[in-house]
Amino acid sequence: MALKVLQSFVSSVPTLWRLSMLLLLYQASHKTALASTRLGGNETDHLALLSIKAKITHDPMLITSSWNDSLHFCQWKGVLCGQRHLRVTGLNLESYNLAGFISPSIGNLSFLRIVNLKNNSFQGGIPHEMGRLFRLRFLDLSTNLMGGKIPGNLSHCNNLRILSLKQNKFIGNLPKELGSLSHLVELHIPFNNLTRAIPASFGNLSSLQYFSAEENMLEGNLPGSLANFSTQLQHLILGRNKISGSIPPDIGNLVSLNTLDLVYNQLTGSIPTSIGRLHKLQEVAFGGNNFSGEIPSSIGNLTLLNALGIEENNLQGNIPSTLGNCQGLLLLQLYGNNLSGSIPREVIGLSSLSQSLDLSRNSLSGPLPQEVGNLRNLGLLNLSYNKLSGEIPNSLKSCISLQYLYLDNNSLEGVIPQSLESLKGKLDLSFNDLEGEIPAGEVFQNVNAISVSGNNKLCGGIPALELPSCPDDKPRKKKMPLGLPLLIPTICGVLSIILISSILILCWLRKMRNQPSVASSSMDSWRIISYNKLLKATNGFSSSNLIGTGSFGSVYKGILNPSDQKAIAVKVFNQQRRGGTKSFMAECKALKNIRHRNLVKIITACASVDFQDNDFKALVYEYMENGSLEYWLHPVLSQTGKRPTDGMFIDGLDLHKLAKLALPERVMEIVDQNLLEEEEGASINSSNQMKIEKISHPPFHKTSSSMKYFHN
């Protein structure tokens, strides 16, 4: 594509020789034609022109109708004459739709310098007589139907500057004799059927600036003499032939080269690093060959490069990051190779790229760099058939000129960015690992513009894509059945009641779980009393109301009902002591299940919190001046000073067994030593006898009032 653009540009701008030649000869012929009728002219030229006219078989525009005796031949249309001798110096019959043959009499126009028969339908071969035109400088027979071999005697036209025979049907080999045209500046022979190799003698064309021979059937190797071409050579175009071999390493000598086109031949070997010396190169076209090895990093020296095409070869290795130095690059085509590694950020971020960036059908891996967003002017981006991974960068939204985006057959994942909705042309994301919902932009609404097949996790999109619906898609609206508007509020109301009831029940159950079990089991038959009432009954748990203090709490005297002045005893459990709660629950359970006429009666209990949100637990008894629950339950306790839960009672030993084993001989070993001190003035034997009697008949009347409530 870039080659065609360049060729059209070159063909539309004549070389300096072409311009100066045509202008000079036209001015000369125009001036002399005015005097031709007066001065006469050469009869040989006159007859030669009539012979040329006779060979023209088709003249729809009647160009040669003026070629008669009514006018001097220098006034005939398309005929140019010199000023001095009134000799024919040029024939300019371009684009007149003429048909026929070139008369051999053309060789008699010995002063002829320009022959331009371009873009007609002349047939036959080039007359050998043209080799006599030693003054000829410009010969353009392009775009005709001419054939046969190119005559080697054209080399006798040793002043020839421009020779253009393109787009005809010439056959055979290039005459080696043409290598002697030392003044030849341009040689154009493309689009013919020429065969064999380029003659080595062409290395002698020391003035050559433009050599194009594409679209032939030229064979053989590139001659080593190619490197000997003039250092003035600017364009070397040999694409689409059958040329084999390798590029001569000395091609770096062609320092004036602007275009190097060798596409679609059979060239092998590596790209010479000497190409980096061609600093004036603007186009390199090596596609469609069998080049191997790596792309030389020296190619980054070509800072004037506009187009680089090395597609369809066997290149390996990485894309050189030095290509980022080519800041004027418009087109980059490296597809169809074995390139690997990641895409250099310096390359994918070249903002100058505007025509095409095609890296498809390689083995490139890694994520697509965010720098792809720099391609604001790019029209085509093709990265298909690689091993790219990661997500599609959202920076693609900056590629506002993008018409074609091909990312298919990679391993890209994640969702399709919404930024791709603005794409104006073709989008191919097929055969990746994309997921999620298809965006809703314009390009995604045209089944002919998008391809997403082979992504099993995608959903949604237009029906033509045949993708499943997304899980969170809103269902399509359907006609509401009759009565549904009344049914929906009713159902919602019932569900709301159930929900609120469930919440209340859960809250109550949670609160009940946090309450001690005594509140639901041990005290279900008692009248629960509040902390506030107990606080008032005991005058704020005043020390003046304190009856006594034990290991698990304190006992206070109080008046619950001021009206009857009946005294109560309030046992407050110490929640800070370990086992306090356990002792409270155990005592509640025991008092709830035990009934005895001699036991102190429990009135109620309190399991709440105080005004500081601390746990508060208390038992309320009838107040008794004498007596103790524990002493009723364990008569031996008051004499031994030991509780049933004492740590010594293990392996089946309890308080009663201890007393049984000690009587009568070892009774002194188990008697509380505090009782012994109270028996003042008695003998040891009497004292021992008294202890035995006390064990049998406990003196409840002598226990202090506080002891009746402390059994822990």
List, for residues 310-341, the tens digit of each pLDDT value: 999 999 999 999 999 999 999 999 999 999 99
At CA 402, angle to CA 398 and CA 405, rounded to 5? 110
Q: In what order do the strands lie in the sheet with 56-58?
A: 56-58, 99-101, 121-123
592 is in an annotated binding site: no
Same structural domain for residues 323 and 383? yes
* Residues 51-67: tens digit of each pLDDT: 999 999 999 999 999 99
Domain CATH for 432: 3.80.10.10
* Residues 115-149: tens digit of each pLDDT: 999 999 999 999 999 999 999 999 999 999 999 99
Amino acid 633: pLDDT: 44
Residue 478 has pLDDT above 70, yes or no: no
Listed residue (526, 701, 695) closest to 618, CA to CA: 526
* Residues 634-654: tens digit of each pLDDT: 455 555 666 555 656 666 666
**Reported confidence tier of residue 387, pLDDT bands at 50, 70, 90:** very high
Same structural domain for residues 173 and 133? no
Q: For residue 175, what are the domain limits?
A: 159-267
Amino acid 13: pLDDT: 41
Same structural domain for residues 135 and 174? no
Q: What is the reported pTM? A: 0.63
Amino acid 30: pLDDT: 45
Same structural domain for residues 47 and 115? yes
* Boundary residue ending a domain (237, 267, 297): 267
* Boundary residue ending a domain (205, 234, 267): 267
Same structural domain for residues 550 and 648? no
Same structural domain for residues 465 and 334? yes
**Reported confidence tier of residue 36, pLDDT bands at 50, 70, 90:** very low
**Assigned domain for 477 exists:** no
Amino acid 491: pLDDT: 81
**Reported confidence tier of residue 215, pLDDT bands at 50, 70, 90:** very high
Residue 2 has pLDDT above 60, yes or no: no
Same structural domain for residues 619 and 646? no
Q: Is 178 helix (H, G, I), strand (E, B) or coil?
A: helix
Residue 228 has pLDDT above 80, yes or no: no
Distance CA 98, CA 616 (A): 124
Contact 358, 337 (CB under 8 A): no
Amino acid 512: pLDDT: 61
**Assigned domain for 507 exists:** no
Mean pLDDT (the chain, rounded): 82
Distance CA 174, CA 196 (A): 8
- Residue environment code for 561-591, b if the CB has 16+ CB neighbours within 10 A, otherwise e: eeeeeeebbbbbbbbeeeebbebbbebbeeb
Amino acid 489: pLDDT: 75
What mean pLDDT is predicted for residues 158-174? 97
**Assigned domain for 128 exists:** yes
**Assigned domain for 16 exists:** no
Amino acid 7: pLDDT: 43
Same structural domain for residues 384 and 447? yes
**Assigned domain for 277 exists:** no
Same structural domain for residues 447 and 309? yes
Residue 599 has pLDDT above 80, yes or no: no
**Assigned domain for 435 exists:** yes
**Assigned domain for 14 exists:** no
Amino acid 612: pLDDT: 74
Same structural domain for residues 653 and 683? yes
What mean pLDDT is predicted for residues 485-489? 69
**Assigned domain for 93 exists:** yes
Amino acid 224: pLDDT: 78
Listed residue (558, 570, 699) closest to 628, CA to CA: 699
Residue 369 has pLDDT above 70, yes or no: yes
Amino acid 25: pLDDT: 46
Q: What percent of the chain has pLDDT over 70?
A: 74
Number of domains comprising the chain: 5
Same structural domain for residues 349 and 253? no
Domain CATH for 543: 3.30.200.20
Q: What's the helix, strand, coil split of the chain in %, to 5?
A: 35, 20, 45
What mean pLDDT is predicted for residues 654-672? 61
What mean pLDDT is predicted for residues 665-683? 54
* Boundary residue ending a domain (413, 447, 470): 470
What mean pLDDT is predicted for residues 482-498? 72
What mean pLDDT is predicted for residues 363-382? 96
Same structural domain for residues 332 and 413? yes
* Residues 67-109: tens digit of each pLDDT: 999 999 999 999 999 988 899 999 999 999 999 999 999 999 9
Amino acid 39: pLDDT: 41
